[in-house]
Structure 1
Amino acid sequence: MLHLHTDSVLEVTVHSAHGLQKVERLGKNDPYVRLSVDVDNSKQYDKFKTEVKSNAEDPSWEQSFDIREISDKHTDLFVEVLDQDKGADAPIAYTAIPLNQVKEANGQSLSARFDLYNKHGVAQGEISLTIRIVQPGQESSGRITYDGNFQKAESRVDEEQKKRFKKLVLKETASDVGAAAAIGGLFAAGAGLLAGHNKKAEEAKKREQALAEDQ
């Protein structure tokens, strides 16, 4: 049990990610990370979000967030990695990090590498984070920069997060299908206009030939 006070602050520094699945059809991923302590809280995911790293295979962010109003009901930190796109952003990976290991860590601060998971729940890639629990009256001990030597810590597949992630995948797929249909419609409309133009040109040519024969 964490025994967190309602005024506790969860400090999270997102360092970097490695081994991410490529989801861009052309070019490299444009990845970003978002965080929440409530598995399906879209507003929180949108609030605690890193910047986008363009064309990055192994992105590095070094961005920190203070998640406030946490309590004992918040047992995990939920992490999502997405690829920014013109339509719906493409989900890359996700993970749930049990916060009890942060509480048990020295100084209630844990700097580690965590497994990420794809839509099938299979480990694919890693993310490096520093997570601190700051209780009321305590001060932050400062931010840590990833030096490439963090040890592996526990992360897991949360079934509710897995369902959420699959919905994100379906949303992105539907967006791609819609975009493809729109492009197809434009091509079809263009082809129709061209066919109509060619038909009118052919009819005009026939009329010219008929007039010439009459003369």
Structure 2
Amino acid sequence: MLHLHTDSVLEVTIHSAHDLKDVEHLGKNDPYARISLEVDNSKFYDKFKTNVINNSGNDASWEETFELREVKDDHNTLYVEILDSEKGADAPIAFTAIPLNQVKESHNQSLSARYDLYNGHGLPQGEVSLTIRIVNPGQESSGRITYDGSFKKANSVVDEEQKKRFKKLILKEKAADVGGAAALGGFAALGAGLLANHLKKSEEAKKRDEALAEDQ
């Protein structure tokens, strides 16, 4: 158990991510990161997420800090997701679960480190750099800490529940892609049908005009 003080704050700075999988069909990834203390709590993920870095590709730098005040004794893991911003459903890139005991046990209860990210198969796919700090009552924020390329590697794991969630996100994004393609195909078919109907009516009108001209 993490056993934080009731008024403690978990301060998380999302520095950057590297060697991300390219999930864009055209162009480069537009990645953003989001975090949660509960594996499938959409409110957490929606509240604690970075800005989108357009055309960032396989690497991204955010340098954004979040203060998680809804910390409970059973919150022992920080869940991280990296996604590619899309017009439809966002495309999942990678995920990871970070045990928070290592933060509790670190010097000054602050840990700046690199963590393995994982793909939908649970295999390593890139890294994310974070600073995680426990701010107890009376302590001040750590201020701005930036990633200088020298962070050491810390422990992250594949959480099976998060892996299931991640696969659902992948299926959702694929379904949105199929739906969008079907809609485009439908519009194309509709357009072709309207054009054919218009040409048919134009031909019929031409024949009527020719018939009237002959009668006169």
What TM-score do you get using the length of structure 1 for normalisation? 0.94
C-alpha deviations, 1:70-93, integer Å up to 9, x for none?
132011100011111111111111
- In structure 2, the residue matched to 1:146 is 147
Task: Show structure 2 runs of 5+ residues with no match.
Answer: none
**In structure 2, what is the equivalent of residue 35 of structure 1?**
35
User: Among the aligned pairs, what percent are the same residue?
Assistant: 74
| 2:25 partner SS | coil
CA distance in 2 between counterparts of 1:80 and 1:158 reads 12
Residues 159-202 of structure 1: CA distance to partner in whole angstroms, max 9, x if unpaired?
11111111111111111111111111111111001111111222
Shift of 1:69: 3.0
Once the two structures are superposed, the pairs formed by residues 59-208 of structure 1 within 5 Å of their partners are 59-208=60-209
In structure 1, distance between residues paired with 2:147 and 2:110? 14
Give the structure 2 partner of residue 9 of structure 1: 9
Is 205-214 or 157-166 further displaced after alignment?
A: 205-214
Q: Deviations over 1:110-158 (max 9, x none)?
A: 1111011111111101100000011223222323110011111111111
Q: Which runs of 5+ in 1 are unaligned?
A: none
Equivalent position amino acid for 1:147 in 2? D
Give me the CA root mean square deviation.
1.5
For 1:47 and 1:145, the matched residues in 2 are separated by 22
**Offset of 1:214 from its aligned partner?**
5.5
- DSSP-derived class of the 1:128 partner: strand
Count residues with an aligned counterpart.
215
1:30–1:54: 8 Å Cα contact kept in structure 2?
Answer: yes
Residues 43-67 of structure 1: CA deviation (Å, up to 9, x unaligned) = 1111111011000021100000000
The AA in structure 1 aligned to 2:103 is: V
